[in-house]
Structures are given as structure tokens and as C-alpha cells.
Copies of this chain bind each other. A is one copy, B any other.
């Protein structure tokens, strides 16, 4: 495997070709983002004016920089790329991100320019991500090459590869502001003239910062190679793909977007399965799967135990569970006995446990805690799904029994949902996710995510599992 990725994702120095003093310009915002993320390496703005930018002295050319450069980021117009790229080649810059557009996605002239760029890079042993992408983010290095205003990106164990920089960035912004988990490495590959999916996947497979890899792909440049790499990586960690263009309408749209040819989607489906790749069909599921993986270990099996605040929601959960190809766990005799002891006498104990027969006796918090403990103890269940009733009368801290129990029974993952009062839910969700208990709303999202997580786990080789 090429070790160029340490120059991309852990560079000691970055040159920004096309840095600008003007707020709002891409060449300025990229520096703002790098500062906001606390990048600790050296930053060298390159600008023909040579003025100071955001406190950094700028240079007219990389050649003037008196030390080595690991990564050069280009945000100059396409037609002004070649000259400074040659200078980077002379300086032996190992890694280049070309953010600007105006290449093969526009016209033949742009396509020709791409060819020339590639020639320069190849002859110097320089590697390129892009062009036409906002590039990459690497939270372990406190680095982003994105110019889209982002602020500090939250660090976490999830990495992803996106077909385009826009998709990568909008998704990262959503994760950063709507979710409580964080990301490790993000790459938006753009036109993929040099580095493409399989090479990045191979790197992320070995990367100790990366617990799982998500991907949004419209087309593979080298599908066979990609599947070979994926087959190895998925033995070690989950790889989850949303493939754009799986329908006729989507495929037409993908062709006009990235000139990707769709191929036969059901063949692809089989190939993904053989390579151990979990496929999702909804954008939302990519993010929900990431949340499940970020916060809990993968489910050791498909037997689900649940508890719900009403009998009706219990029915809804049982339907969702079976529709998703999961199993409603059978309570052991010992669990049944313990549940009977704390339930109202009139109720038939079943799975999901009807909490309306328990909370009037034990109170909402103690009732859930006791039942959770019984279900976690029961060897017939692999996964616990509590549906809680959010109430303005129950402060978020009341749910601390969930992270406490989760720490006590780590191999049995817990996925939570809520009904009831929305502001109370929002507080409880933040409280729980900050303590690694993932919360999903609506509850059906858990049953979209669970079968995917089960498939990921089924593919991982025993030697790669914790414990």
C-alpha cells in the first residue's frame, strides 16, 4: 500500500496555492477552516501579491518556501494550475489536492488539462486527489482542506469516502451539527484522475483511527480492484455503501453528474455481498449506521429484546423487527419470573415488555432500569432496544442507568428510541449520545440500521473482533 496517505491525512506542512486575503473567497475560507480546526503543522499561503494572510506571511511560489511541503492544496482556476503544479513537482511535494473545478466535467479542453496534470504528477511521483473537490478532512491531524464554512469538525471513529466534495462537505456539516458522533478521515474524490476509491479504502482499512468506512459512490473507476480491496477490509471493519444511480432515473442523473455508468445493479448487489460490503438504500441510513457503529459494538446476533411504554408500541416494534429480518428474542424462564415479579398481575409478559404494566408500580426510571438489567442478563437476547417515554418531568440525567448498564454488559449493544415530549427527548438524546448510547428517532430507524450492523458483524473475521 502506498504510504502517500500519511502526507494527505497527517501532513506536517501544507501549502495553499491560491490563498486569498478576501473573506468569502475559497482561498481565504480554507485557511479560516484550517485555523478553526487547530491544524498544528505549518501553513504556507501562496499568493502572487505576497501579502500576509490571517497572520501568515505568504509566498509567491512554493519554490520560495525554505522547507519541505507535505501537502499542496490548489484553489486556483483550472487554467492557472499547471505552472504551480510543475513547481510542486520540482519541490518534490508528495501529495496534492486540486479543489478547483473546470476540468473534464466541463469540456474537452478541461479533459486535456487533466491529462497534462496527470503527466506532470506521474513523472514526479506526486499523487493527486481531485480535481473538482473540496478535498479531505482529517480530525486526528486537526486538518481540513474544505473551503465551505465548517468550523471545528468533531473527531470520532467514522471515516468516509464520497464521490464529490460537495456531498462530503454537506454531509460532514450535517453530522457535525445534527449528530453527536465524530469523524476521522473524510475524502471527497471529485474527478478521480489519480487517486480513486480502492486506494483510499485500503488506507482506511489499515488506519487505526478508522472503525468503519462509509461511502457514497456513483461509479468505480476500477470496480474489480475495489471489490478485491473491500473483501480484505470488510474482514476487519465495516464498509457501508450508498450507491447513487441504482434506478433508471438515478443512473441517468449520475451519468450527467459524473459520467458514471451504472452497470447492472443486481450484479453489483451480488458483488457487494460477496465482498462483505453492507449496502444501504437511503442517505439517512448511512448516518444512522455510522451512529450505531460509533457508539456501540456490533450486534453479536439477531435476537432483539425490547421494552415499550405502551402495548401498542410493543406491537409496532414487533412488526418492525420481523419485517427487518430480525428475531424477537424469547425470554428465559428466569427472566420471565423476574419480570412477573415487577409487573402488574393482569399483564401477559411478552417481548417487547409492556412498561405500562410496570412503571405505575416502580416509577418510570426504576422500572426501565430493572427491566433493562433483566434483559441484559438474559442470554437469549443479542441486542436491547428500549423505547422510552420522554417527559418534561424526567430530567436527562435520570437515564444514566443506560450508560451504566451498557458498561456492565458491553457485548450486548443498546439502541434507544423515544416517544412523548420532544424537548425532553432532545435533551435526553444529547445526554445519552455523549455517553455512547445511540438514540434513533423515529423508532423504525433502528430496524433499518440493525440488519446492516448484523451483516457487518457476520462478515468480520473472529480475530478482528474485540475480546
Query: Using a CB–CB distance below 8 Å, which chain A residues touch chain B?
Result: 102, 105-107, 149, 162-164, 166-167, 170-171, 173-174, 177-178, 216, 218, 242, 244-250, 252-254, 256-258, 281-284, 287, 309-316, 318-323, 328, 346, 348, 350-352, 354, 356, 389, 391-393, 419-423, 425, 442-444
Tell me which residues across on chain B come within 8 A of A246, comparing CB atoms.
319, 323
For residue A170, which residues in chain B have a CB less than 8 angstroms away from its CB? 309-310, 313, 389, 419-420
In the complex, what residues of B have CB within 8 A of residue A421's CB?
173-174, 177
Checking B218, B312, B318 against A167 with a beta-carbon cut-off of 8 angstroms, the contacting residue is B312
Besides A177-B423, A283-B443, 4 new A-B residue pairs in contact (Cβ under 8 A), listed by A number: A247-B323, A249-B328, A253-B315, A257-B312
A393: contacting residue among B149, B328, B354, CB under 8 A: B149
Chain B residues in 8 Å Cβ range of A313: 167, 170, 283
- Neighbouring B residues of A174 by C-beta, 8 Å: 419-422
| Residue in B closest to A284 when the chains form the complex, CB atoms | B442
> Do the beta carbons of B311 and A442 come within 8 Å of each other?
no
Tell me which residues across on chain B come within 8 A of A102, comparing CB atoms.
346
Q: Which residues of B contact A423 (CB under 8 A)?
A: 177
Evaluate contact between B319 and A218: CB separation under 8 angstroms: no
Q: Contact at A422–B283, with CB atoms within 8 Å?
A: no
A308 CB to closest chain B CB, in angstroms?
A: 10
Q: A149-B393, A420-B174 are in contact. Are A252 and B318 (CB under 8 A)?
A: yes
Q: How long is the Cα–Cα vector from A315 to B254 in the complex, in angstroms? A: 6
Chain B residue at minimum C-beta to C-beta distance from A321: B249
- Given A257-B315, A421-B173, check contact A167 B310 (CB 8 Å): yes
A178: which of B254, B422, B443 is its contact (CB, 8 Å)?
A: B422
Known: A311-B258, A312-B244. A444 touches B178 (CB 8 A): no
Residues of B within 8 A of A177 (CB): 421-423
- Which of A105, A170, A392 neighbours the largest number of chain B CB atoms within 10 Å of its CB? A170
CB–CB A166/B309 < 8 A: yes
Chain B residue numbers with a CB within 8 Å of A162 are 312
Given contacts A174-B420, A310-B164, A311-B257, contact A282 B107 (CB under 8 A): no
Interface-central residue, A246, A318, A323, by most chain B CB under 10 Å: A318
Contact B319 A164 (CB under 8 A): no
Q: Are A350 and B443 in contact (CB under 8 A)?
A: no
Q: Are A257 and B354 in contact (CB under 8 A)?
A: yes
Q: Are A315 and B350 in contact (CB under 8 A)?
A: no
Nearest chain B CB to A23's CB is how many angstroms away? 12
